[in-house]
Amino acid sequence: MAHGIFITALNCMDGRCQEKALAYTKNLFENEANVDMITEPGIDGLLAGTHSVVGPEEIPARIEWIRAKAEISAKGHGSTQVMIFGHCGCAGNKVELDGHKEHLRLAKKTVEGWGLFKEVQIAVFNEAFEVEPVS
């Protein structure tokens, strides 16, 4: 087991999301934790089975690669909590705010289905790029 506390974040690769997602995740779960940041463009869409760039036939393999990375975080680092982010203005998942919320709810079901984490939370960056929790 790796040293220290680890938590996991599934985030877009978008540079605008990185620092805020890191701060939000630590604040929500564990300020002293190391955050394993797993990024893909439009990750909320991918995990919901839809994407603006990746074709539908490729999505299952992309999801499996995200799952494999999450498994390393969970089993190798002992992470039990995961945060999933989507954001407005995403080049990989070109939907409006409500679309991201819907995709995040579906993404949460996908990640819960992996059985790797005790707690799965979702949040979206709104049009002002503020992070909003999604229920």
Residue type, 61: A
Residues in the chain: 135
Pick the piece of the chain touching Zn ion (CB under 5 A) from 20-28, 30-38, 75-83, 88-96. Answer: 88-96
Question: Residues touching Zn ion: how many (CB under 5 A)?
Answer: 4
In the bound state with Zn ion, the residue whose beta carbon lies nearer, of 77 and 108, is 108
135: nearest Cα among 114, 104, 95: 104
In the bound state with Zn ion, the residue whose beta carbon lies nearer, of 92 and 99, is 92
**Sign, CA torsion 78/84/90/93:** positive
Question: Is 90 a residue that touches Zn ion (CB under 5 A)?
Answer: yes
Question: Is 12 a residue that touches Zn ion (CB under 5 A)?
Answer: yes
The rounded distance, in Å, linking the Cα atoms of 115 and 112 is: 6
Q: Which residues bind Zn ion (CB under 5 A)?
A: 12, 14, 90, 92
